[in-house]
Structure 1
Amino acid sequence: MASAQLVQALQSAANSGDKSASYAQILSNLSQTSFASSEEQAASLIAYVDSLVNASIGIISTKPLLSSLITSLSSAPAEVKVKVGSHIADNLENQIASFEEQNAVVREILATGYEEEEEWSKAAQALQGIQLDSTQRTVTDLVKVQTWVRIVRCYLEDDDTVSAETALNKIKNSSIALQVLQDSPELQLHYQLSQARILDSRRDFLNAAAEYLNVSFSRSVAEEDRLQALSAAIKTAILAPAGPQRNRMLGKLYKDERSAETQEYGILEKMYLDRLLSKEEVDTFASSLAEHQLAITADGSTVLSKAVVEHNLLAASKLYDNISTTALAVILGLKDSKDGTAAERAEDYAARMIEQGRLRAEIDQIDLVIRFETLPGLPFTGKARHLRLWDLAVQGLVEDVERCAASISEAFPVSSQDLAMTGAP
């Protein structure tokens, strides 16, 4: 609550002949006062605002006084910024057309106060109250993009990806904003990182991995943060649906020399080389994932477990020409559930991947066997398949013999004199 002395001074100013000068003097005194607490400072400034707004001294005289008060808030504690800033913003809500500049400045300070108190969504909402498309004041394209990006980042801090995406779309749908991003590497970086986090939360893991990877190449980011972005790219790439597109992304990440420095390198290597993953490796990897990356999907499995099953299915296709659905279920670690037996679930996974073009195989539902395509164009069954495999085996044997002979020649070279002594032609 404001002190009795301040209340009396404000009453005198409201009744004085030169109200503007009186309020200016009170504000000057307040700026030099040492308050006992943030609560007392906030109560005093709020009392000043209420008296000033109700004094009817005219917009022209009120604007500079209000601007001076708002400017002084920038150095105040977070609690004062929030209490006084929100009070001023509420008072100006019905008069924004007359106080657009003051409204914009106080909302930026209010947002800073909320950020300091880690009230991220409230900070974003405060910024959204700023009139960016205004005829009363000049707002540059750079300032607009900076504000939009700040709103997106605030919402993301609270994991409100829906609101964040709505704000991000304002940038995407503006050709001028995209041009501003190209001219500002720092803003471009924040935009890419925000887009990656939104795609990640929507479980569009493949595109999220591409955005994270782009961020990891930015020279304006500290080395530690670049490595963290690379780690995020690896995680999302691993969680992406198995198939050619993911394989290409895994290839990029595996061939990146920095990947060896990440904790995810072991599982990345096995994924890229189509090796089977053990339960222990998967559990270790799962402990590093975010909550939304471990969410339960419609079929009762997690995103990770589904990605691992699909990967191990592809890995099995590299090891076997054919396999029974029962044996495949054991390799994939599937168990009987309400959706069917383990063998039936293994068949469902294979059928879905075949239908989507991510696995080259055929399913024999009579013998309950899955036959994999060993080579492109090679038939799954029949004499043509066996003859082709026989030809390939003979070709492989001949190539091995040739390599062996070449190695012997290199290790034990024979000169023309040696040949002459042996009588060889």
Structure 2
Amino acid sequence: MASPDVTTQLAQLEASSNPPQRSEGYSQMLDNILSTFTSNDLSANLTAYVQSILSDSIGVIHSRPLLSSFVEKYKSISDNEVKIEAGTEIVQLLAPKIVSYEQQDTDLKFVLADAHEAEEDFTNSAKTLQTIVLDSSQGRAVTDDEKAAIWMRICRCYLEEDDPTNALSYLNKIKNVIFSVTDQAVRLQFQLSQARINDSQRNFLDASTSYLILSNEPAIDEEERLRALSAAITTAVLAPAGPTRARQLGKLYKDERAAETPEHGILEKIFLDRLLSPSEVAAFASGLADHQLAKTSDGSTVLDKAVLEHNLVAASRLYQNIPLESLGALLGVPADRAEAYAAAMIESNRLSGSIDQISELVHFFPTPAGQDPNSANAVDLTTRDLRTWDANITHLSEEVEKVSTMLQREEPRFYESVMAS
């Protein structure tokens, strides 16, 4: 509750008929309140002060500069609890009159949102920013840059609270104006938030693409770019196995900076279709976020599924066929689960092969790197073997031709004598 002395002085100021003296009196009154009262009483007295300057007896013309001056001094308050308590009450006082005080209301809410964030209350910060008027009816121009900056801040607040659903709704608002936004910082934050939302919703390939774009932004510090590249590798590893993921892994593996990241070892093994050991997977898992280790419907984690699918692809490079029991042992899962994963990958065209359930065998069909397995599904096993044989013969012939050309260039006399004989 406000101090009786403050209430009395405010009433006297409201009754004053001399606007200049009244404005000077309010200014001195605010300074006295800020210097006299402690945290326990300060909030109530500040609220009473604003209630007084908003009274009908003062008038909007004189109230606006007084409220603007109050907001400037309100910013300087060091106690965030006072800012939050007083700011919340004052925002409610302004709500019925917001049309007359749009700019002051906006400035106040920015300070209040800062106080919430300083206390790590990102949800209330976002809710405060959401109430800022962006479509002014009083001629206050709000540019696309300003709108995007506010929506971006709300989006980031929700991301800090692990609320990707609300974050996405504000990211979608930014998408409508992003092409006219000139603020480079907002554009970069937009890309980062897009990557984080895709990551949190397990759209790992989309997240990897966004992180990779960020890692090549010259406006970002080298350390941050390398961190974005690490995130791009991590999310690519977690993505479902298949040609699209293979192409993304290829881009990352060919990036010269990839060798500087902690994830380079697992990236190399996955790109080269080598089997991953449990120790390598455990080391990689230790650096993952909670949502990246969440359980799926079958009780496994996203990483477990990604590794199992990768090892299936790696096994297809080593074997033409393998018993289901042996495949399960290789993958570290029961035979029926190995069969289920193999069947799902074959059905979705992410693995080229067939399953003989009578013989309990999985047959793998060789597919050139980067080629969609679906393009080869209509070809039978005999034709595939012949194509592989033809490719090997072609490769051998090319190597013999290279050796012959080198001999002709380096040892022309020997070459001529051999050819003559």
Fold shared per TM-score above 0.5: yes
Spell out the pairing of 1:70-219 with structure 2 (5 A cutoff): 70-77=71-78, 78-136=80-138, 137-172=140-175, 174=176, 177-181=177-181, 183-219=182-218
**Letter in structure 2 aligned against 1:240:** A
Q: How far apart, in 2, do the equivalents of 1:418 and 1:317 lie?
A: 43
**Letter in structure 1 aligned against 2:25:** Q
Q: How far apart, in 2, do the equivalents of 1:52 and 1:385 lie?
A: 85
SS at match of 2:359: coil
Q: State how many pairs are aligned.
A: 409
SS at match of 2:96: helix
Equivalent residue, structure 1, for 2:311:
312
Tell me, yes or no, if structure 1 residue 62 matches structure 2 residue 54: no
8 Å Cα contact 2:408/2:415 also seen in 1:
no
Residue 40 of structure 1 and its aligned partner are, at CA, apart by 4.1
**Letter in structure 2 aligned against 1:12:** Q
Q: How far apart, in 2, do the equivalents of 1:169 and 1:12 lie?
A: 51
8 Å Cα contact 2:54/2:60 also seen in 1:
no
Spell out the pairing of 1:328-347 with structure 2 (5 A cutoff): 328-334=327-333, 342-347=334-339
Using the size of structure 2 for normalisation, the TM-score is 0.88
**Letter in structure 1 aligned against 2:60:** I
Q: How far apart, in 2, do the equivalents of 1:166 and 1:49 lie?
A: 34
8 Å Cα contact 1:201/1:292 also seen in 2:
yes
- The CA deviation string for residues 326-348 of structure 1, in whole angstroms up to 9 with x for no partner, is 111111111xxxxxxx1111111
Q: How far apart, in 2, do the equivalents of 1:367 and 1:270 lie?
A: 31
Residue 107 of structure 1 and its aligned partner are, at CA, apart by 0.9
8 Å Cα contact 1:120/1:155 also seen in 2:
yes
CA distance 1:244–1:418, change in 2 (3 Å): closer
Equivalent residue, structure 2, for 1:339:
none
Equivalent residue, structure 1, for 2:280:
281
Residue 133 of structure 1 and its aligned partner are, at CA, apart by 0.9
Residue 30 of structure 1 and its aligned partner are, at CA, apart by 2.8
Equivalent residue, structure 1, for 2:372:
none
Equivalent residue, structure 2, for 1:6:
6
SS at match of 1:96: helix
Q: How far apart, in 1, do the equivalents of 2:412 and 2:23 lie?
A: 108
Among all aligned residue pairs of Structure 1 and Structure 2, give the percentage whose two residues are the same amino acid: 47
8 Å Cα contact 1:107/1:130 also seen in 2:
yes
Q: How far apart, in 1, do the equivalents of 2:228 and 2:415 lie?
A: 63
Q: How far apart, in 2, do the equivalents of 1:304 and 1:26 lie?
A: 63
SS at match of 2:217: coil
Cα root mean square deviation, aligned: 2.8
Spell out the pairing of 1:298-309 with structure 2 (5 A cutoff): 298-309=297-308
CA distance 1:410–1:319, change in 2 (3 Å): farther
Using the size of structure 1 for normalisation, the TM-score is 0.87
Residue 24 of structure 1 and its aligned partner are, at CA, apart by 4.0
- Alignment gaps of 5+ in structure 1: 335-341
- Alignment gaps of 5+ in structure 2: 369-375
Tell me, yes or no, if structure 1 residue 354 matches structure 2 residue 346: yes
CA distance 1:417–1:387, change in 2 (3 Å): closer
Q: How far apart, in 2, do the equivalents of 1:256 and 1:309 lie?
A: 26
Q: How far apart, in 2, do the equivalents of 1:10 and 1:99 lie?
A: 21
